[in-house]
Structure 1
Amino acid sequence: MRPVVVIGAGLGGLAAAVRLAAAGREVTLVEALDVPGGCCGTASLGEYRFDTGPSVLTMPDVLADVFAAAGHEMESLLPLRRLDPYYRLRYHDGSHLDVVPGHDAMTEEVRRLCGAAEADRYRRFRARLGELFAAEWPAFVDRDMTRLRSLFQPVTLARLAALGGFRRLDRLVRAHLTDPRLVKAHTFQALYVGLSPQQALGIYAVIAHMDTIGGVFFPEHGGMHAIPRALAAVAEKAGARIRYGTRAVKVETDSCGVSAVRLDTGERLVAGHVVVACDLPRAYAGLLPRGAGDWRLRRPRYSPSCLVLHFGLDRRLPGQAHHTLHFGRRWASTFSALNEGRPQPDPSLLVTYPASDATAAPDGHATLTVLEPTANLTGGNDWSRLTPQLEDRLLGRLADLGYGDLTAAPRLTVDPPAWDRRGHSAGTPFALDHRFAQTAWFRPAGMARRVPGLHFAGMHTAPGVGVPPVLISGRLAAQRILETPR
């Protein structure tokens, strides 16, 4: 078998490299940065360390499966702890809902906030989420969607339709729940796929199942960046060679398909297969050969972006949950603003407080990360003017929410232009949105039909955005390669 070159040491590339190396293939992983992780990165500011990528980890079995492919138990290399609560949801009226583990405990929490009748409705809705997940996960998420025939599953499609999967998410949830606070708790996840609850299909209620029922987890040591570090170590132990600080500049082909990858050092790595696990639209702009084009990327529709402020705190925050979501007063209009490419008038904020991460801050100190959804770079905003305005507004909002005056705290700001400089098309770390025309088979394919040996992994391809889907994309790329005699 000819060697395999994986481009990009993000979670998708690492998942592919681990599986291929463990199967005995010769693998070289090329990463432009000096550390693994890609979007799941890390940054430091003085004595403070921040996770700069995803902060919500669900479906840990998907991650454990990558370690198992190389003969390792995840718990011995990357122990995780289940958060409790998974989220703390704070509403503008002063009430709050803790999303907690366990059917009975969560039902009781709903009863406390919303009353007995709504708790009964929640119990039935929770069962409906489980049914949706059971129908959708094996058929459309955990499955290779590179061929059109993969969509033709009449029984599954009929089941999803009967469960409300093809209604709009907001309508599906409102058909079961009546308290607006509980509706928000099960529809805000639409932003994870780049859409408003009024746009997203009901099938994306499975995200609410994943994090409100399946649970949210966090590495016991080293924060979220511990995940790519552990995967990179497993890949190297399995025999993969990782080249950090090296950029792939061209995928070369011959009459049989992929033949090599040219590096910025001038080297040429011979390859029978290449897995492209970096920003896909940018890869098509120069890295990939002619014939690799995908019609699905002719008119890409990108997810909104976000403004992220990382703070170093000289104190701890007793009682603060790991994840706190502060809902704004104006719910529908905030999504309308994003659709129009404008900043939200009253955004909901995701605050992450990784108090258990001993690598994040000195003793007695802590870090705080605040994420505000905002427009991506396709909206034509003047970010040199807009970013300072949004920062000032966000600092004031945090003070009003009880976090104190953070204007003098050490701060790292990441806005859409900064995401663009980090290699994310349209200045968004959330890739393409998940409208129907960019879902499953309609999302950019996992392989290039006209270039044998060229494969893709990462959030721009199916299944899509999020840690579990990206890990699955790496597994699917590896499976195709191992099934192909090249």
Structure 2
Amino acid sequence: MMTHAVLPSDLTDAPARRPHAVVIGAGFGGLAAAVRLGARGYRVTVFDRLDGPGGRGSVWRQDGFTFDMGPTIVTAPFLFEELWELCGRKLSDDIELKALEPFYTVRFDDGETFSAYSDPEKMRQEVARFNPDDVAGYDRYMKEAQACFETGFEGMVDKPFCRLFNMVEALPDLIRRRADRSVYGLCAKYVKDERLRVALSFHPLFIGGSPFRVSAVFSLISYLERHWGVHYAMGGTGALAKGIAGLIEGQGNVVRYNTDVAEIVVEDGKAAGVKLADGEIVAADVVVSNADAAWTYSKLVPPNHRTRWTDAKLDRMAYSMSLFIWYFGTDRKYDDVGHHTILMGPRYRGLIKDIFKNKVLADDFSLYLHRPSATDPSVAPDGCDAFYVLSPVPNLDADIDWTTTAEVLRKRIADKLEATVLPDLSRHIVSSKMITPLDFRDRLLSVKGAAFGMEPTLFQIAWFRPHNVSEELENLYIVGAGTHPGAGLPGVLASARILDKLVPNAVA
């Protein structure tokens, strides 16, 4: 349900008399929450410790290249469109979204490729190339993915799960969808070719989960891609973050960068504002945290005000994997490489187990290669290409010294890319930057360096996650990857949408 937009001209009271909302973190969840609160009459101040908007979706510029540091695709554009509509504008006024075809190409270790398309018939043709007998099974799998989409996305994504009764209400649908089964298990029920199982079941990695542990309900991602397509924001995902920050400022509200929040101020069991690292106290009627949920409770809420999300409870939770990401630019173009390529290693199940359970850095890896300059020449100098390559790795529960391991892993990845899809890569690199799990911990304040917060296993989704309205303090709300519905751009934007049902209106 859309919230009625309250434009600046509608606000006749002096700004200082309007209720004040403080948002901690200018990631996509925090930015979206600020727009929605501003549209409902709140005076909003957003604080972020980084020097620009986006959080995990921020931007790095270097040597004439523009690198999106985190998410690279848009799969539910309407969630962005709503934010612009709340401000009396259109998304297309500021942002050009370009549909990608194919969405991505999966390259197996033997060199065979599988491309994902929006056209169901093209997908059937891709499946038939591997195993004609699996076409009918693929159709049945997608029918089940659609049912999971209707249950898990349309039915749950913007519904608050703040009471156990909310979970009980959802149980019949979850049982019908066999939520106890994994995404891989659901796929394997219908598809027999192992390579197809891999190509159709890896999607939980996009939200920080193991395909062998994440609930089958998350097969909805496959249908979500088909339903709305996969899009790229021209100028990069960072252009979307900058655009939303502009909406906030257009509402007459404020985003303060390079500002650390040290603590949530509590008065009479209610969040009453925040204390900044420099000692400044900022009073608020509503506090929304877009910081990592585990960080919010372990570092920002005083311990004497926590009963459920204690340190012991937080430590028992299962956290997502982390990421090693290498951003690099080349002084030549690789025109035969698409916008998104997924390079599968020689193992699938074993590698996932090493990352999530064994917590070791394996000798092999699978890679996600992003070449935005295939679509958007503006992100690289003329005649050059911008890339990032991502490898899922264990979070900081693993005993890995990233200060010495990072360059070793980067070189191994570069060698693999050079031997497969980027010939002569080593001679053409002109810009380079790496981030490791240490950056997720120290720069993004993510507990255990987990790239996606808590892993979305069956007993860590919906009611089992930190709630959108805090269980510990009145007037404290949580948005972002660590709360319901979870990680990924659709999830974090939907977490802000949920606030419309929880936070009282500031303007009648």
Change (3 A) 1:196 1:33: closer
What's 1:398 paired with?
Answer: 417
What's 1:309 paired with?
Answer: 326
What's 1:79 paired with?
Answer: 96
> Structure 1 residue 115: deviation in Å?
4.3
Q: Is 1:482 aligned to 2:508, yes or no?
A: no
Q: Structure 1: where are the runs of 5+ without partners?
A: none
Q: Is 1:136 aligned to 2:155, yes or no?
A: no
- Secondary structure (helix, strand or coil) at the match of 1:89 reads strand
CA distance in 2, matches of 1:442, 1:167: 17
2:189 is matched by which residue type in structure 1? A
Change (3 A) 1:146 1:348: same
What's 1:174 paired with?
Answer: 188
> Structure 1 residue 81: deviation in Å?
1.0
1:237 to 244, 250, 257: 250
What's 1:199 paired with?
Answer: 213
Deviations 1:224-283 (A, max 9, x none): 101111111111112221112222222212226222222234432221110011123223
CA distance in 1, matches of 2:407, 2:279: 41
> Greater shift after overlay, 474-483 or 81-90?
474-483
What's 2:259 paired with?
Answer: 246
User: Conserved in 1, the CA contact under 8 Å of 2:208 and 2:451?
Assistant: no
Q: Is 1:448 aligned to 2:470, yes or no?
A: yes
What's 1:334 paired with?
Answer: 351
- Secondary structure (helix, strand or coil) at the match of 1:50 reads strand
Change (3 A) 1:43 1:301: same
Q: Give the share of equivalent positions with the same residue, in percent.
A: 29
CA RMSD of aligned residues (A): 2.1
User: Conserved in 1, the CA contact under 8 Å of 2:74 and 2:233?
Assistant: no
Aligned residues: 482
> Structure 1 residue 353: deviation in Å?
0.4
- Secondary structure (helix, strand or coil) at the match of 1:481 reads coil
Change (3 A) 1:247 1:196: closer
CA distance in 1, matches of 2:67, 2:290: 23
- Secondary structure (helix, strand or coil) at the match of 2:151 reads helix
2:403 is matched by which residue type in structure 1? S
2:394 to 375, 379, 383: 375
CA distance in 2, matches of 1:292, 1:81: 45
Q: Is 1:462 aligned to 2:484, yes or no?
A: yes
- Secondary structure (helix, strand or coil) at the match of 1:385 reads helix
User: Conserved in 1, the CA contact under 8 Å of 2:39 and 2:86?
Assistant: yes
> Structure 1 residue 42: deviation in Å?
0.9
What's 2:199 paired with?
Answer: 185
1:263 to 272, 276, 289: 276
CA distance in 1, matches of 2:504, 2:252: 16
What's 1:39 paired with?
Answer: 56
1:385 to 404, 410, 426: 404
User: Conserved in 2, the CA contact under 8 Å of 1:250 and 1:261?
Assistant: yes
User: Conserved in 2, the CA contact under 8 Å of 1:132 and 1:165?
Assistant: no
CA distance in 1, matches of 2:307, 2:239: 35
1:130 is matched by which residue type in structure 2? Q
What's 1:124 paired with?
Answer: 140
2:186 is matched by which residue type in structure 1? L
Give me the TM-score of the superposition, normalised by structure 2. Answer: 0.90
User: Conserved in 2, the CA contact under 8 Å of 1:9 and 1:38?
Assistant: yes
What's 2:439 paired with?
Answer: 418
User: Conserved in 1, the CA contact under 8 Å of 2:148 and 2:218?
Assistant: no
CA distance in 2, matches of 1:392, 1:347: 13
Deviations 1:49-77 (A, max 9, x none): 21101123211112222222222221222
Change (3 A) 1:308 1:450: closer
CA distance in 1, matches of 2:95, 2:259: 27
- Secondary structure (helix, strand or coil) at the match of 1:253 reads strand
2:488 is matched by which residue type in structure 1? G
CA distance in 2, matches of 1:31, 1:25: 19
User: Conserved in 2, the CA contact under 8 Å of 1:102 and 1:213?
Assistant: no
- Secondary structure (helix, strand or coil) at the match of 2:220 reads helix
CA distance in 1, matches of 2:75, 2:421: 28
Deviations 1:347-371 (A, max 9, x none): 2111000022333211111111111
> Structure 1 residue 326: deviation in Å?
1.0
CA distance in 2, matches of 1:467, 1:15: 11
> Structure 1 residue 184: deviation in Å?
0.8
> Structure 1 residue 187: deviation in Å?
1.1
Deviations 1:418-461 (A, max 9, x none): 22221222122221111122111001112223421111111111
Deviations 1:22-64 (A, max 9, x none): 1111111112222111110111221112110112321111222
CA distance in 1, matches of 2:185, 2:275: 50
Change (3 A) 1:292 1:68: farther
Change (3 A) 1:342 1:256: closer
User: Conserved in 2, the CA contact under 8 Å of 1:275 and 1:477?
Assistant: no
CA distance in 2, matches of 1:200, 1:485: 41
Deviations 1:212-232 (A, max 9, x none): 554211112x10101111111
User: Conserved in 1, the CA contact under 8 Å of 2:183 and 2:201?
Assistant: yes
Change (3 A) 1:323 1:107: same
CA distance in 2, matches of 1:255, 1:336: 46
What's 2:12 paired with?
Answer: none
2:161 is matched by which residue type in structure 1? M
What's 1:210 paired with?
Answer: 224
Change (3 A) 1:159 1:21: closer
What's 2:15 paired with?
Answer: none
- Secondary structure (helix, strand or coil) at the match of 1:68 reads helix
Give me the TM-score of the superposition, normalised by structure 1. Answer: 0.94
> Structure 1 residue 170: deviation in Å?
1.8
Change (3 A) 1:453 1:484: farther
2:96 is matched by which residue type in structure 1? P
CA distance in 1, matches of 2:472, 2:392: 38
Change (3 A) 1:398 1:450: closer
CA distance in 2, matches of 1:92, 1:268: 55
Change (3 A) 1:201 1:320: same
2:82 to 57, 62, 65: 65
1:346 is matched by which residue type in structure 2? D
